[in-house]
Structure 1
Amino acid sequence: MNDQHQANSWKRMSFKGNKVWVATDANGNLLLEKKRVLIKYNLKQDYEYRVKPESLNPEDQAVPARKKPEKKSGKSSKKPGIKTSLPDNCIKIYTDGASSGNPGPSGIGILFIYEENKKKISKYIGMATNNIAELTAIKVALEELKRVDLPVRIFSDSSYSIGLLTKNWKPKKNQKLVVEIKALMGKFSDLAFIKVKGHSGIKENEVADFLATSAIKKDLL
């Protein structure tokens, strides 16, 4: 299989708002197998996804990650709920969701970091979409936390999830899940999201992604 993948041609497209590499034939047409197309976020990665071709978009539709601005004053222009600062005594949470098929077998991955302590969750959630998996990872992470008085920063590469939970976007789908997450968010004294770029070499985010995809593979074995 590896030799076959190495022989593939690849072109840039976007998936879930992130730039990906998509397998094509010699003529640049999508290379389908069982009505799915192979994608990779990084050509050097050893894991992969197969998704429906209709879930792919042109490369220019990828959503750029929010860059951390340089602070020039004590004032911040950011809206509540989206921050880049990391306060002292902060619980850092990296979440990710994955779906093989969208909808298809799905998993979530969560990495908790507090001081020198780390905890990982890799869980299969059944048949779902990528968006449901991303939101479910955030929900499970919040449910897992016992301390609501400490600052919490959730790192996610899902523009969809962060938009719904912090920018008052009106969800056309998954309304019940969004309401449940917002109710959990209200219990914390200081909770904010930080948008990260998926598969860009951020170690903790890669760990969360690996946990999510591993949950799917374990269930399919």
Structure 2
Amino acid sequence: MRVSEVQRVDVFTDGACLGNPGPGGWAALLRYGTVEKVISGCERETTNNRMELMGAIGALEALKRPCHVRITTDSQYVKQGMQQWLPRWRANGWRTSDNKPVKNQDLWQRLAAAVARHEVEWFWTRGHSGHPDNERVDAAARRAAEKQTASS
């Protein structure tokens, strides 16, 4: 498919954790033109970094066909991981530069597989800085984490 035929989707993601580790939630806002959808999920015992990764994974896995995806996250961990660290981790057998196992390898591999279906650009915004879409997914991720706490 030519790039001009690929649908462009804007995605905003966030993760939240009540304690670290503790109950966590993630959320993503997917926007295609004027159509918006917010998705979210939660886990009983997790970390903030895992929830940040799950926001991006959840968004990409929700897309039914290959798209040009512009992902905005407030997580430098996710953005730098995808843009800088992932190629080295793969080349080093999922070990860091100091030969330690990569943390959250299962989710990094899942995210890499989800990204492979799409044409993805990564953007960063400072969290809690008033970016309206980031504030929306932050609130949704927090609600998901609180929902997990309530159901425990």
TM-score, length-scaled by structure 1: 0.57
Deviation at 1:111, TM superposition (A): 0.6
- Show structure 1 runs of 4+ deviating over 4 A: none
**Cross-structure match for 1:41:** none
Which AA in structure 1 matches 2:116? G
Q: How does 1:8-27 map to 2 (within 5 A)?
A: none
Residue 50 of structure 2, aligned match among 127, 132, 153: 132
Partner of 1:161: 78
- Aligned residue for 1:147? 65
Query: Could you tell me whether the CA contact under 8 Å between 1:89 and 1:115 is conserved in 2?
Result: no
- What's the counterpart of residue 117 of structure 1? 35
Q: 2:112 aligns with which of 182, 185, 204?
A: 182
Of 120, 140, 144, 1:215 maps to 144
Q: Percent identity?
A: 36
2-side partners of 1:186 and 1:217: how far apart?
32
Instruction: Find the aligned partners of 1:182 and 1:175 in 2 and give their Cα distance.
Output: 10
Q: Secondary structure at the match of 1:141?
A: helix
State the Cα deviation string for residues 112-150 of structure 1 (Å, max 9, x = none).
Answer: 1110100011322221000001001111111100120x3
**Which residue identity lines up with residue 130 of structure 2 in the other structure?**
G
* Contact 2:44-2:149 within 8 A present in 1 as well: no
Whole-Å Cα distance in 2 between the matches of residues 89 and 145 of structure 1?
A: 10
Distance (Å, rounded) in 1 between the aligned partners of 2:115 and 2:45: 25
Distance, in Å, in 1 between the alignment partners of 2:61 and 2:145 is 21
Q: Distance in 1 between matches of 2:7 and 2:145?
A: 33
- 1:182-213 per-residue CA deviation (whole Å, 9 max, x = no partner) reads 1111111x211111111111100000000000
Separation (CA, whole Å) in 2 of partners of 1:185 and 1:219: 27
Q: Paired residue for 2:128?
A: 199
Q: CA RMSD in A?
A: 1.6
* Whole-angstrom distance in 2 between the partners of 1:219 and 1:181: 23
Report the Cα distance in structure 1 between the residues aligned to 2:110 and 2:7, rounded to whole angstroms: 26
Q: Which has the higher helix share?
A: 2
Distance (whole Å) between structure 2 residues aligned to residue 155 and residue 141 of structure 1:
11
TM-score between both structures, scaled by the size of structure 2: 0.81
What is the correspondence of 1:3-82 to structure 2 with a 5 Å cutoff?
none
Between the aligned partners of 2:30 and 2:52, the Cα distance in structure 1 is 16
Deviation per residue, 1:74-105 (Å, 9 max, x gap): xxxxxxxxxxxxxx952001000001111000
Task: Return the alpha-carbon distance in structure 2 between the equivalents of residues 89 and 105 of structure 1.
Answer: 35
